[in-house]
Chains A and B, each alone.
Chain A
Amino acid sequence: MSTTLGDDWEMVIGLEVHCELLTATKLFCGCRNAFGDEPNTNVCPVCLGLPGSLPVLNTGAVERAMAIGTALGCEIRPSSFHRKNYFYPDQPKDYQISQYDEPINTGGRLELPDGSVVGITRAHLEEDTGKTLHVGEGGRIHAADHSLVDYNRAGVPLVEIVSEPEIRTAAQARAYVAELRAVLVATGASDGRMEEGSMRVDANVSVRPAGNEVMGTRCEIKNLNSLRSLTRAIEYEADRQVALLDAGGTIDQETRHWDEEAGRTSTMRSKEEANDYRYFPEPDLVPLAPGAEWIERVAAGIGPLPAERRLALAALFDGGPTPAQRDQILAVVDLGLDPLLRSATDAGVPATLALARTANEVATDTDAALRLERTSFATLLGLEANGTLSATQTKAVLAVLLERGGGDPGGIAAELGFESLSSGSLAATVADIVAAHPDEWARFVEGDKKMTGFFVGAVMKATGGNANGKAVTAELARLAAP
């Protein structure tokens, strides 16, 4: 349920997700597909739309689109390209080459971690536009004095994934985009970086009386560039529509812009002003008809998908993970950190410890985590598991490992002055403290459980908190043994 709508209303949400594909080159020319290069350096006659230039389709983009279709359970079909005609300075040819009535992927589904399923209408190929910079008045379009265009992004391959209007809450919309992102990353088709604009979301939102089957009038919200924007915009928009309807008003079908700072949506374009895109078949390209052998080859190259990887992690927990651990597993797989976690459990580290360290400490810096040497991580957690390092020490060593991208955990522990806590020195510390407290020791040996706490506390105090509690307990038990 939405946090804002009451029981009387239901949201109907369909999402269009544009995903930039991780190819070496653009969709129709050999210019580099790269983010952040100097403006107008990755351009050629084709992606600048110079007179006489012609597009040639990129195999890499087609294969990534097919991989996305496969991962979403779509039918991969013969397809063709159309021209979508509209004038805009960031569109070099003043038309966009896109797939229209014959998309490459149709009819898939995405199962979300909570078990709900959202239908996928289609996932088609199209080209991206250039980037426009609005100059003057804080870069806002309406107040800009003039605009500057960089065509490096023009022609970058996109797949637009269109969901069925089957999403019912903002939280489900968020879960859908998060899961979709994880799937796209898993297929290798996308880096999933919403903050760099490589995934962009438009939301079609309508409301209807709960239990009603008829769709309400929908508004399309543009410019949702983070999961937070997506959730806020949908909730704002649903509330706005409900307030309008409650007051006896009607909803105009329109395109609305999400203003992240103001936290509200506003009219961009009404249906009456809607563009007449004059779609027609792109005469400069021929149809695409991938054969079964090609489709199978692409499918075979796709690694395990997030749902499968979550199941694999859950299976590491005897009796299953706790609800909190399930949430951690979800986060770890979303971030693509499960191979790191598995490297530790494969080395014998208990799953509970490996998950806790991955979800809590490692996940704070995903970029560093994805670079981290897996053997370093596994070795470090092994030292914590066998009591050589305390939790506090492990975290300190881990921070250094993340910074350096790897290294020898034992050596780093030494650098940090944790040598005193090698197992030998721990035993010496415990022995010293036992010798200093003969009465308490006698009670411990007789089975007084309270004395365990006394000795562990004393050892902790002596080591400045750097001892491993479990290791101390084990050492006490060893000394007390007959």
Chain B
Amino acid sequence: MTVENGPAGAHPSTAALSRADVVHVARLARLDLSEDELELFTGQLASVLDYAADVAALDLTGVRPTAHPLPVVNVLRDDVVAPSLERDIVLAMAPSVEDDRFSVPRIVGEEP
């Protein structure tokens, strides 16, 4: 694996949001957008990102990112088996089941 997210530079990229960006993002998020929605979302997302431009433009070199509100470490559990769910209950939730497994339409493309 490669690690791509480096530390923030002083001038991070915030190019204006394009329609193509919205198409790309919808594909990543597995959402289908109609032409109208595409138009609407591009405008609405652009206005939110425009509002957030103040944050994007700050020079925060040397400021540590906060991923978590409270400084807690080493929360662990013992390696002890706990009861699993009844399979009938698990499979009853599923939209489609075959041979005690969750059934999905054919998968195009391999696992990432």
Contact = CB atoms under 8 A, between A and B. Distances in A.
Interface stretch (A108-116, A233-241, A287-295, A393-401): A287-295
Contact of A269 (B73, B74, B85, B110): B110
Interface string B78-94: 11111111010011000
A147 B104 contact: yes
Interface stretch (A59-67, A327-335, A343-351): A59-67
A285 B106 CA distance: 34
Contact of B28 (A23, A39, A276): A276
Given A40-B101, A151-B102, 13 more contacts: A23-B79, A30-B81, A41-B84, A60-B78, A87-B30, A100-B1, A101-B5, A147-B103, A149-B102, A278-B28, A286-B68, A287-B68, A290-B74
A288 B73 contact: yes
A148 B102 contact: yes
B79 A24 contact: yes
Interface of A: 16, 23-25, 29-32, 38-45, 48, 56-62, 78, 80, 86-90, 100-101, 129, 132-135, 141, 144-151, 160, 162, 222, 257, 268-269, 275-279, 281, 283, 285-290
B90 A40 contact: yes
A145 B68 contact: no
Given A268-B110, A269-B110, A24 B81 contact: yes
A162 to B, nearest CB: 7
Contacts of B68: 281, 283, 286-287
Interface residues of B, number: 39
Nearest to A135: B98
Contacts of B102: 40, 89, 148-151
B82 A88 contact: no
Contact of A25 (B75, B80, B110, B111): B80
Interface string B40-57: 000000000000000000
A89 B90 contact: no
A287 B81 CA distance: 23
B37 to A, nearest CB: 20
Most buried by A among B67, B81, B112: B112
Contacts of B16: none
A57 B77 contact: yes
A269 B3 contact: no
B111 A32 contact: no
A217 to B, nearest CB: 14
B12 interface: no
Contacts of B112: 86, 88, 269, 275, 277
A32 B107 CA distance: 28
B24 to A, nearest CB: 8
Given A24-B79, A286-B72, A44 B101 contact: no
A286 B68 CA distance: 8
Contacts of A42: 84
Contacts of A277: 112
A143 to B, nearest CB: 9
B75 to A, nearest CB: 5
B101 A38 contact: no
A220 B79 CA distance: 34
Contacts of B104: 89, 146-149
Contact of B82 (A41, A44, A290): A44
Contacts of B79: 23-25, 58-61
A58 B76 contact: yes
